[in-house]
């Protein structure tokens, strides 16, 4: 359980940051919220672009996106996540109507980034939680801003983060011989592409089902298994 300490701290940071954002949102005019959201979308794009070139196998990255997309569409992860967000929103319908959007957007942003992947792997492989601690600070600050515009749905993304990062951490401890540096870098590159898609969605430029591309992040691991 000590391997999950970094993930636990990360989830708590999101909850605390969300509560702070909800508290201050009442005094923020709607036009400022919209401008801030567009600015955050640009920051998300920057984060995505900065990580895409870390991979060392472009063909594998392309295949990962294609195969991951097929698997994701077959499972329809996007519909499941949106459905969960809608269920949460129905409980608060009288108070707020952007809960589902906040839950989906923040869950994807906090889960598919390079720090989520690499940090969780480090926790599982060596018990080093430093990267997840750093991510906790960043996610806590981000959740303040996001919840001030999208509301309480951001707080519920802490559950998605805990489950997602927790599973990666647990699996990493059983795959120490497979998770070479090149595998981790290619996973990071694929995750960064998904972040770019999320940023474009936030700007209403595209309507990419980013959640249905999530399996692509794990294709480099499967590829390495076949090589062995």
The domain in which residue 115 lies consists of 2-227
Is residue 21 predicted with pLDDT exceeding 70?
A: yes
Question: What pLDDT, in 10s, does the model give residues 89-134?
Answer: 787 765 555 788 889 889 998 988 778 888 898 888 888 898 899 8
Q: Highest mean pLDDT: which of 23-27, 94-98, 172-176, 220-224? A: 220-224
Q: What is the pLDDT, as a whole number, of residue 138?
A: 85
pLDDT attached to residue 96 = 58
- Residue pLDDT, tens place only, 60-78: 999 999 999 999 999 999 9
The share of the chain scoring above pLDDT 90, in percent, equals 37
3-state secondary structure the chain: CHHHHHHHHHHHHHHHHHHHHHHHHHHCCHHHHHHHHHHHHHHHHHHHHHHHCCCCCHHHHHHHHHHHHHHHHHHCHHHHHHHHHHHHHHHCCCCCCCHHHHHHHHHHHHHHCHHHHHHHHHHHHHCCCHHHHHHHHHHHHHHHHHHHHHCCHHHHHHHHHHHHHHHHHHHHCCCCCCCCHHHHHHHHHHHHHHHHHHHHHHCCCCCCCHHHHHHHHHHHHHHHHHHC
Number of domains in the chain: 1
pLDDT at residue number 85: 85
In percent, how much of the chain has pLDDT > 70?
Answer: 96
- 73 CB-near residues (< 8 Å, 6+ apart): 209, 212
Instruction: Please report the pLDDT score of residue 16 as a whole number.
Output: 96
Contact criterion met (CB below 8 Å) for 52 and 214: no
pLDDT at 146 over 90: no
Residue 13 binned pLDDT confidence (cut-offs 50, 70, 90): very high
Q: pLDDT digit string (tens) for 80-96?
A: 888 888 888 787 765 55
What does the mean pLDDT of the chain come to?
87
């Amino acid at each position: 359980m000590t391997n999950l300490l970094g993930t636990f701290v990360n989830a708590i940071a999101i909850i605390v940051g969300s509560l702070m954002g909800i508290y201050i949102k009442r005094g923020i005019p709607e036009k400022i919220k919209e401008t801030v959201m567009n600015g955050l979308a640009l920051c998300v794009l920057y984060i995505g672009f900065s990580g895409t070139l870390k991979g060392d196998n472009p063909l594998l990255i392309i295949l990962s996106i294609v195969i991951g997309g097929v698997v994701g569409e077959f499972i329809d992860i996007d519909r499941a996540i949106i459905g969960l967000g809608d269920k949460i929103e129905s409980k608060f319908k009288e108070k707020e109507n952007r809960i589902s959007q906040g839950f989906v957007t923040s869950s994807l942003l906090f889960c598919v980034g390079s720090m989520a992947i690499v940090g969780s792997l480090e926790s599982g492989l060596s018990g080093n939680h430093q990267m997840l601690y750093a991510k906790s600070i960043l996610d806590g600050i981000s959740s303040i801003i996001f919840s001030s515009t999208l509301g309480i749905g951001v707080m519920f993304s802490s559950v998605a983060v805990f489950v997602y990062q927790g599973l990666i951490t647990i699996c990493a401890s059983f795959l120490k011989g497979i998770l070479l540096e090149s595998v981790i870098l290619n996973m990071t590159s694929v995750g960064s592409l998904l972040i770019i898609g999320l940023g474009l969605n936030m700007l209403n430029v595209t309507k990419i089902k980013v959640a249905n591309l999530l399996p692509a992040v794990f294709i480099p691991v499967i590829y390495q298994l076949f090589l062995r």
